[in-house]
Homo-oligomer: A and B are copies of this chain.
Amino acid sequence: MLSNASKYAIRSVLFLAENSSKNKKYGAKIIAEELEIPLHFIAKLLQQLARVNVISSSKGPHGGFYTAKKNLQNNVCAILDEIESGNVFEPCFMGLPQCGDENPCPVHHIVAPFKDALLEKFKHQSISEFSREIKEDGSLLSLKGID
């Protein structure tokens, strides 16, 4: 459903939301290592996200990527809008373009509530809220230390 690009992007942004600040920046290299994703791939994605102010960046020594307060007001959809081309949840599960509650495919009553819940979360929960939830729940972002 989500491309690798999106998944990498979401994890990176949440990582920065949890760990970074204006004076604690992370280079693409460290992020790539920490989340175990390809360096040059994530570098590009981070640049894209910086361009649309989902995250911030600064060049040069001690530079890197970070999330400022105002960045954290964005929601996860802002990430997907930039990375993914087109609407993520429209070309749905069973691949029927013209369907929905009126014309349900065989798994609609399973898929629909899930889609709604996820979309609600991605649309209306800010990245900072998401991040706080991760801290509280002990949700997983990095893969370090797990095998």
Contact = CB atoms under 8 A, between A and B. Distances in A.
Contact of A139 (B2, B108, B143): B108
A83 interface: no
Contacts of A118: 107, 110-111
A8 B96 CA distance: 10
Chain A residues touching B, range: 35 or more
B108 A111 contact: no
> Which among A1, A95, A108, A138 has the highest number of chain B CB atoms within 10 Å?
A95
A39 interface: no
Contacts of A62: none
Interface stretch (A21-29, A42-50, A64-72, A98-106): A98-106
A136 to B, nearest CB: 11
A146 B98 contact: yes
Contacts of A93: 1-2, 7
Contact of A104 (B97, B140, B147): B140
Nearest to A106: B139
